[in-house]
Amino acid sequence: MLKSASTAALVTALAALSACNPDPSATAPVAAAAQHPDFSGLWFPAGRLQDPQRAEYTPAAAAALAEYEKAFALDDDPGRYCQWPGMPRAIWGAPFAVEIQQRPQDLTIYWEGYGMYRKIYMADMNPPEPILPSAMGHSVARWEGDTLVVETTSLKPYPYMTRLATSSGAHVVERMRLEERDVDGQTTKHIVNEVVLTDPKVYTTPIKITGTLRHRSDLQLLEYTCTDALWDEYLSERGLALPDMDALPDP
């Protein structure tokens, strides 16, 4: 009986010690996540600035732009046919709602406009390797204080020259942060996203863009759908051929 009492006392003591000193691995992600801003919620575009306002093209890209402007009219806008603007154009987006879901391992972003979807992986959470180039590319992020720094590569070419064209060599760096601003006498959260686009095949200098989203809990995402085939058929009917961005010479 004495042995049983001693064993019971030991178990009680160990349980108390465990309660006072929980497993750090079980609480560390939660504690770490609590230290950073949460971008989750519904948002709406609230402004865009670009520097330089007029992109500075390489000679080959400038020639492609001149040919593009000869053949394509304003009505030849790919957005009318649900061609994803992709990165970095999606940052400010069309005037449609945006929903963000944030977890310790990633951020998932949904755009009402064009039905776009994007995944941003956290660098310290074993992100997957890119598989294929895509409109949104492969995005990996890290925290620098309260700023989320995102690097995006593996982008497929975007050959619409008057819509901030990019080649597959484009590289995008974003710095996202939360700000509180006064809107109509109310304090409202904003996401400020400072973007730097580098694409030596197309632009002679980096393009800096600041996109802002305003928190709008009163909105919801609606359905926005169409098919890529409409755009392909339209180009074929018009006899239009898009420039091959990756065929531009290296600088």
Using one digit for the tens of pLDDT, what is the confidence trace for 79-137? 888 889 999 999 876 789 999 999 999 999 999 998 899 999 999 999 999 999 999 99
More confident residue, 231 or 5: 231
Report the alpha-carbon distance of residue 87 to residue 211 in Å, rounded.
12
Q: How many CB atoms lie within 10 A of CB 138?
A: 21
The pLDDT confidence band at residue 2, using thresholds 50, 70 and 90, is very low
The pLDDT confidence band at residue 34, using thresholds 50, 70 and 90, is low
pLDDT at 93: 65
Structure confidence by residue, pLDDT tens digits, 180-224: 999 889 999 999 999 999 999 999 999 999 999 999 999 999 988
More confident residue, 220 or 25: 220
In contact, 214 and 94? CB cutoff 8 Å: no
Report the alpha-carbon distance of residue 86 to residue 116 in Å, rounded.
8
- Write down the pTM of the prediction: 0.80
Tokens of 126: 């074993």
Q: Inform me whether the pLDDT recorded for 28 exceeds 50.
A: no
Report the alpha-carbon distance of residue 147 to residue 150 in Å, rounded.
10
> Tokens 């593009």 identify what position?
68
Q: What is the mean pLDDT of the chain?
A: 87
Report the alpha-carbon distance of residue 142 to residue 123 in Å, rounded.
6
- Which amino acid does the sequence have at 13? A
pLDDT at 137: 98
Report the alpha-carbon distance of residue 31 to residue 35 in Å, rounded.
7
Distances, alpha carbon 104 to alpha carbons 28, 127, 153, in Å? 11, 12, 22
* φ, ψ of residue 205 in degrees (nearest 5): -135, 155
